[in-house]
Structure 1
Amino acid sequence: MGVVSPALAQSSIGFVSLERILREAPAAQRAQKKLEQEFSLRGQELSKIAEQLKKMQGSLEKNALTMSESERQKREREFGDVNRDFQRKQREFNEDLAQRRKEEFEGVLERANRAVRQIAEAEKLDIVFQNEQVVWASTRIDITDRVIKALEDTRAGK
């Protein structure tokens, strides 16, 4: 491998898993629940339209040979209209969800970054890596649990 410089050998290092923070921190879990509640009705509506499309397609495939040409064209047009509407609603849903997710989790990430800085300063860490970029690290230098606790402490006003 490589040679470790004396400066690096004396450095104090930590790492944090932002993925774990976004999955386990109560603030992140609350944000996720809020998003699920906010978007559940639209998600259910999309599911109903998808089911309607399946039925329409099944009916078309099943009855295509027995329908008149004009009836088949009419049903294909209806299917196309519903499908275009579904695609539009699904695209809008995904865009809105992505935007709201960004808004909700931005605050959690800002607070997490502040907590990382505070912990790094308090523990005199020279550098903190995100563990998604680390191949291996000792649990001794993992500060993720302390960051999650700090996020809750700041919420509780401690």
Structure 2
Amino acid sequence: MADITVRMRVNGGPRSATVPPRLTLADFLRERCGLTGTHLGCEHGVCGACTVLLDGQAVRACLVFAVQADGAEVTTVEGIASPAGELSPVQEAFRDHHGLQCGFCTPGFVVSVTAFLRDNPDPTDEQIRDGLSGNLCRCTGYQGILKAVRAAARRRQAGRP
């Protein structure tokens, strides 16, 4: 198959490349864009480490081909902080409430929680657990992550985006 030229906006900036049709969005972001915050764990869409926002929706970048993102807006964990580098409320909460340990799963959680809280700004603990059920962590025991999500929700309600 012939390579295909894709164009998209990644973290607010234009990106284009000629890619093989079967190159995943995760590999495009890591190899062609140098955005290594999108981690590859299972490469089957189970662990959530590769979660990015595709036109605002949280998706597993290992399950999306780069050609499917042609013309789209993609936000990776690197694009969650402000352009000046100020951490988002979600990132601050993960830092402040020990929502990370080894850090491998953290980018996927941060992106997933960002989308989750945008759509559900005042979640119950049950909704948080359900909303994060697609992200796996082997280190934290999840308690710090749950505290971080609750804290991020409070920060967002206090007027932080």
Decide: shared fold, TM above 0.5: no
| Greater percentage in helix | 1
| Greater percentage in strand | 2
* Structure ID, larger Rg: 1
Q: TM-score, normalised by structure 2?
A: 0.20
